[in-house]
Amino acid sequence: MKIRSSLLAACFVLMLAGGAAAQPGAAFLEGRAGGMVPVGHFANEQHAGVAYSIAAGYEFLPFLDGLIEFTHSFNDNDNGHDTIQQGTIRFVSNEVKQTFVVGLGPRINFLPSTYPVRPYATVKGGWYHFANFNSVEINGNGKISDEDDDAAGIEAGLGLTGTIFSLYEHENDEIPLFEITLGANSSYHHAFLGGRSDRQFVTAMGSLGFRF
């Protein structure tokens, strides 16, 4: 699956958020940014890199949300930039890896949404797409090749979110019409490649969220 399909998945996350906004206080949308750090065997293949995600969810119960999230990271290859000179021919290779994740699962809130600060845990299953982009220059002429791997995987994480702004339709309402939140979370990801070494990595991000 190519990048185009990954972008369609991100659009689906946004569409879900829009469709879930019918009930005040029940739907949320979060944008996140931070880093991705490979661990285990995967750490020998690539370096840590930047990552971002778009998450959308719905509050089914005070302590339970449904969540779908699209995550994308950029990482330099572990042997990322090589230059080889053979006589008058100069080879320059620069490999960059990208990881795409679409995960779905519950978010368990340790406190209900009426509390201004809420710790939570997430458990998600999802699709993992690993893309390797290799940019090669031969005497200044660029060539690009890529390799893709797809896998199923699981994710488990912990996070914290806090309300920084609330807007109520009426003065005595218990459920706000609109909220803005700030938060942070960290997750462990494990992708199963079958017949090859599994890939594990950790993401850590700050978030800006909107509840409707």
Which residues in 54-66 are b (16+ Cβ under 10 Å) and which e? bbbbbbeeebebb
pLDDT tens string 32-91:
999 999 999 899 888 899 999 999 999 998 899 999 999 999 998 765 456 667 777 766
Distant-in-sequence, close-in-space partners of 55: CB < 8 Å, separation ≥ 6: 13, 29, 30, 31, 32, 67, 68, 69, 70, 207
Looking at residue 5, what is its pLDDT?
A: 52
Percent of the chain with pLDDT over 70: 75
Report the chain's mean pLDDT, rounded to a whole number: 83
DSSP lists the bridge partners of residue 117 as 162
Query: How far, in Å, CA of 49 to CA of 121, rounded?
Result: 24
Q: Which of 23-32, 44-53, 125-134, 163-172 has the highest mean pLDDT?
A: 44-53
Backbone CA torsion sign across 24, 101, 11, 163? positive
Distance CA(143)–CA(136), nearest Å, equals 5
Regarding predicted confidence, which is higher, 42 or 25? 42
Tokens read off for 91 = 């080879």
- Within a 10 A sphere around the Cβ of 174, how many other Cβ atoms? 7
Q: pTM higher than 0.75 for the full model?
A: yes
φ/ψ (deg, to 5) at 6: -65, -40
pLDDT of residue 23: 46
- For residue 99, give the H/E element and its range: strand 89-109
The domains of the chain, with CATH numbers, are 3-211 (2.40.160.20)
